[in-house]
């Protein structure tokens, strides 16, 4: 299963996926390309560490979505990899119908809350401010509804009385690093 990883930030989840692959825990999955919409993103540094091609693809002209010329460049870059699975690992852009149609049924996303609670930006902060006692992370298939596609799996995290926002965020990230590689491995073995 050929995997393309898309990310905008530090890339800790991409790193967890690459470590799982190196340890033989990614099923039939193989990461073939890392792409970022941010030229200085940490995720791009993983390429040389893990021997996977990694590069910036210009998302212009929009700041928070992929549409127009930027969407065309991204579709071409991903198509060239002939992916079976496109993984959004901290990719902070809204995807439009052209992109979704190009990779229909192949895109999955990681979100730092128990969807359908707290979709959109800052899922951890939304849950923290709301005062929930259980939150977590979700991997779901991507559809046109932002953070609304079919849920593949979730891990719950308890908010303890002595948690701070930072300690809660750290627990959710740790859960993400377990959940996302496990879902990819399962998809590669069973397709569902
Ligand atoms: C992760 O917490 C992921 O759930 C979140 O971005 C972070 C990326 O971290 N994604 C979203 O909020 C998507 N709406 P990373 O760059 O260290 O993997």
Domain 2-190: give its CATH superfamily: Formyl transferase, N-terminal domain (3.40.50.170)
pLDDT at 149: 97
Whole-prediction pTM: 0.97
pLDDT for res 43: 98
**8 A C-beta contact, residue 85 and residue 103:** no
Domain map of the chain by residue range? Answer: 2-190
At 184 the pLDDT is: 98
User: Tell me, what DSSP letter sits at residue 150?
Assistant: P
- Tell me the CA–centroid distance for residue 9 and ligand 1, in Å: 8
Q: What is the pLDDT of residue 169?
A: 98
**Protein residues whose CB sits closer than 6 Å to any atom of ligand 1:** 7, 9-13, 89-90, 110-112, 123, 173, 176
For the CA of 41, the nearest atom of ligand 1: 16
Could you identify the atom of ligand 1 that is nearest to the CA of residue 147?
Answer: 14
Ligand 1, atom 7, lies closest to the CA of 90
Q: Which atom of ligand 1 is nearest to the CA of 137?
A: 4
What confidence score (pLDDT) does residue 81 get?
A: 98
**What is the structure's pLDDT at 2?**
98
For position 163, what pLDDT does the model report? 98
Per-residue pLDDT in tens (0 to 9) along the chain, 192 residues? 999 999 999 999 999 999 999 999 999 999 999 999 999 999 999 999 999 999 999 999 999 999 999 999 999 999 999 999 999 999 999 999 999 999 999 999 999 999 999 999 999 999 999 999 999 999 999 999 999 999 999 999 999 999 999 999 999 999 999 999 999 999 999 998
The rounded Å distance from CA 97 to ligand 1 centre is: 22
Using the 8-state DSSP alphabet, how is residue 44 labeled? Answer: G
pLDDT on residue 77: 98
Q: How would you write 95-115 as a 3-class SS string? A: ECHHHHHHCCCCEEEEECCCC
Closest residue by Cα to atom 5, ligand 1, is 90
pLDDT of residue 106: 98
Angle between helices 165-190 and 123-130 (to 10 degrees): 130
């Amino acid at each position: 299963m050929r995997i393309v990883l898309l990310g905008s930030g530090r890339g800790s989840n991409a790193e967890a996926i690459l470590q799982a692959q190196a340890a033989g825990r990614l099923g039939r999955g193989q990461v073939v390309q890392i792409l970022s919409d941010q030229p200085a993103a940490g995720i791009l540094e993983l390429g040389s560490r893990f021997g996977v091609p990694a590069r910036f693809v210009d998302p212009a002209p929009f700041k928070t979505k992929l549409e127009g010329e930027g969407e065309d460049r991204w579709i071409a870059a991903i198509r060239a990899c002939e992916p079976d699975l496109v993984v959004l690992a901290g990719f902070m852009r809204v995807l439009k119908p052209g992109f979704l149609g190009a990779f229909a049924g192949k895109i999955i996303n990681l979100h730092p809350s128990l969807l359908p609670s707290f979709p959109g930006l800052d899922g951890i902060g939304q849950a923290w401010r709301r005062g929930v006692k259980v939150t977590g992370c979700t991997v779901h298939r991507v559809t046109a509804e932002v953070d609304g596609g079919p849920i593949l799996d979730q891990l719950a995290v308890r908010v303890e009385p002595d948690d701070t926002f930072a300690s809660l965020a750290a627990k959710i990230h740790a859960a993400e690093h377990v959940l996302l590689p496990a879902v990819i491995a399962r998809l590669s073995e069973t397709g569902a």
